[in-house]
Amino acid sequence: MSGTVERLVPADLGELVDRAEIVICCGSGGVGKTTTAAVLALQAARDGRRAVVVTIDPARRLADALGLTDIGNTPTTIDGDWDGELSAVMLDTKSTFDAVVVRYAADDDQAQRILANRFYRNISGALSGTQEYMAMEKLYELQADAAFDLVVVDTPPTRHALDFLDAPKNLTRFLDHRLYRILTAPTRGAMKAVNRVATSFIRQVTKVVGAEVFDDAIAFFQAFEGMEDGFRERADAVLELLDDPRTAFVLVASPRRDTVEEARYFADRLAESSIPVAGLVVNRVHPRFSDQLPEGLRERARTLAGTDLGGLYGNLADFALIRSREDEHLEGLAEQVAPAPVARVPYLRSDVHDLDGLAEIATHLFSTDG
């Protein structure tokens, strides 16, 4: 992948997938990030680029949609009638964490001591924030791979859209924490001369989790000693990558009030860092069947009550009300992220289960009608 000197602000999503080197799809859980990421990568492949999409969705839905019988932590090539190349990765947090440990261990003995540690085995796939950090690790790994022109990341379904951005900082804060430094510094005599605060803490933790678990934790932290610099350097590199002009952020939302508020907050945070939003995708927008107000349609239904037409007007009023509320929620969001292109994907009759479904989404994402 080659460096780009200017921050990309595309005229449309087609230009985005043609020029960006990293696209990060972010937004609340359940708004269609995985599908959006897959469609962006697929379109890049259709445009002749070598694209890889990283998903955190453990469901088989995306693998099925991409025609894969299996998808794992290493890129799987997807065959299709596109000029470029398309690969997919489903993030395996545990495997990625293991690879990071092996990378930064001083030798194989240190790596194996950590990998075999029960405390490590318990936390490596389930510790809060681990999935977010490992997603960033996988992003860094893939962007450095010369086999790909574009990496599209489907960010984890965190409670907050910004959690994954904070993951590298959280790691360095953890490594700099006083208690962590005590637990990882037996050679500095810290465990021998642990202060009263730490002693009290250890006593209380032991009561809760048991001495065996705590001993495992101590063994893990001590085995970890000496690897902090590598983790810090990688965390700093990931932060630089997120701020790199090659990286473009696409906001994904639904017309629901909470997801729109999340998108607004995310856009504000990017703006504070002088990073423009490169695209906005709003999924599951109800169609507008009438320009009349819901109240007028409801009144019309009442005047026709008892007839088939009255029932239809009632349904029309319901749809008009839903759409008007969605418009209220979305009001001002497009202006906030301008000049970012905006794509609205209508509420479809079913979820995406195959390539045809992705192709249907693509017609809305890459429509010049906006």
68-115 pLDDT tens trace:
777 888 999 988 889 999 999 988 888 888 888 888 888 888 888 888
Contacts of 50 (CB under 8 A, 6+ apart): 84, 85, 87, 147, 148, 149, 150
How many residues are present in the chain?
370
Residue matched to tokens 């037409």? 309
pTM value is 0.81
Nearest to 216 by CA among 128, 96, 124: 124
Task: Tokens for 231, please give them.
Answer: 């983790």
More confident residue, 145 or 59: 145
Choice between 204 and 101, residue whose per-residue pLDDT is larger? 101
% of the chain residues with pLDDT over 90: 34
Neighbouring C-alpha atoms within 13 Å toward the C-beta of 329: 20
Read off the pLDDT band of 129 (50, 70, 90): low
Cα dihedral value 62, 64, 70, 76, nearest 10: -60
The mean pLDDT value for 12-37 works out to 91
325 Rama sector, left if φ>0, alpha if ψ -120 to 50, beta otherwise: alpha
pLDDT tens across 309-345, in order? Answer: 999 999 999 999 999 999 999 999 999 999 999 999 9
Count the Cβ atoms, other than its own, within 10 Å of residue 256: 17
- From CA 225, how far away is CA 110, in angstroms rounded? 9
Model confidence at 27, pLDDT cuts 50, 70, 90, reads confident
- Closest of 277, 271, 275 to residue 244, by C-alpha: 275
The predicted model gives 239-265 an average pLDDT of: 90
Statement: residue 2 has pLDDT above 50: no
DSSP-assigned letters across all residues of 123-171: HTTTSTTHHHHHHHHHHHHHHT-TT-SEEEEE----SSTTHHHHHHHHH
Q: Which of 91-105, 108-122, 151-165, 266-280 has the lowest mean pLDDT?
A: 151-165
Q: Which residues contact 357 (CB under 8 A, 6 or more apart)?
A: 65, 348, 350, 351
Q: What is the pLDDT of residue 60?
A: 67
Q: How far apart are CA 287 and CA 107, in angstroms?
A: 60
Residue 322, classed as helix, strand or coil, is: helix
| Residue 11 near residue 341 (C-beta atoms within 8 A) | yes
Give CA separation, 344 vs 15, 217, 220, 285, in Å: 17, 49, 49, 7
Across the range 229-255, mean pLDDT stands at 86
Residue 190 banded pLDDT, cuts 50, 70, 90: very low
Confidence of residue 239 (pLDDT cuts 50, 70, 90): confident
Kindly tell me if the per-residue pLDDT of 4 is higher than 50.
no
User: Residue 90: beta bridge partners?
Assistant: 55
* Average pLDDT value for the chain: 81
Amino acid at 124: S
| Contact call for residues 136 and 165 (beta carbons, < 8 A) | no
| Residue 54, both tokens | 């990283």
Taking every pair of C-alpha atoms in the chain, what is the biggest distance, in angstroms? 86
More confident residue, 87 or 30: 87
